[in-house]
Amino acid sequence: MYRHLDNLELPIDLPVGKVVCVGRNYLDHVKEMNAQVSEQAMFFMKPVTALTPMYNPVKIPADKGECHNEIEIAVLIKDRLCNADEDAAEAAIWGVGLGLDLTLRDVQANLKKQGHPWERAKAFDASCPVSGFIPASQIPDFQDIRFSLRVNDENRQLGHTKDMMRGICSLVAEISESFTLESGDIVLTGTPSGVAALAHGDNIEAALDGHFLIQTNVVAV
């Protein structure tokens, strides 16, 4: 069962809530997907059942087409936020970690063609592996965080929060205008370019520069 952990893999005393994901927040990813820049931030959600520790093997469905990696900065919320400004949003952040927004790309493409929502492609069980969280007090600048994903010893995604089109605190505040964020919710802040299919047996290294490196592998189930 998933529970929030700190960078030492010790439990964090917060409940486990929903995951709010942000789409199209890095211009290089927008371009690689041949998508358009959104005037408003694009939000979607994953349920509690999507959460799983990133330290465990990453499980992908074996029979639903390609499953793509999308490494993202994950933000853990400690206080309830509703119609918050950026200062309140920043004060409500417990810490920062990494999340994988696993995406069934073939399923998503079919849903898009039909004009249907994406939940089948984005919100399936174990579709959100999450690392431990670094306390916000140990992050000097939310807009200067580097992170990466290597697959089979090759760089696949290299991210830097300075390249976000909407910064972390701005995103958290904007989300709170649409729906309330509760203690224990997680916000995934968007992925940089480099999304691609994962395969059974792939070795993964996810790094939050200067803080931790997680090594795991992919298992098709």
Which one of 3.90.120.10, 3.90.850.10, 3.30.1640.10, 3.40.50.300 gives the CATH number of domain 19-220?
3.90.850.10
The answer to whether 125 touches 64, Cβ cutoff 8 Å, is no
Whole-model pTM: value is: 0.96
Residue 111 has, within 13 A of its CA and on its CB side, a CA count of 14
Among 58, 49, 138, which Cα is nearest to 96's? Answer: 138
pLDDT digits (tens, 9 = 90+) for 8-24: 889 999 999 999 999 88
pLDDT digits (tens, 9 = 90+) for 194-220: 999 999 999 999 999 999 999 999 999
Under DSSP, is residue 46 helix (H, G, I), strand (E, B) or coil? strand
Residue with tokens 């409940």: 15
The mean pLDDT value for 126-150 works out to 98
**What integer pLDDT is reported at residue 41 of this predicted model?**
83
State in Å, rounded, how far the first CA of the chain is from the last one: 18
The answer to whether 169 touches 96, Cβ cutoff 8 Å, is no
pLDDT digits (tens, 9 = 90+) for 30-65: 788 877 777 788 999 999 999 999 999 999 999 999
Under DSSP, is residue 68 helix (H, G, I), strand (E, B) or coil? strand
Going from the C-alpha of 103 to that of each of 17, 130, 182, the distances in angstroms are 20, 15, 25
- The DSSP code for 162 is G
pLDDT digits (tens, 9 = 90+) for 80-132: 999 999 999 999 999 999 999 999 999 999 999 999 998 999 999 999 999 99
Separation CA 192–CA 28 (nearest Å): 6
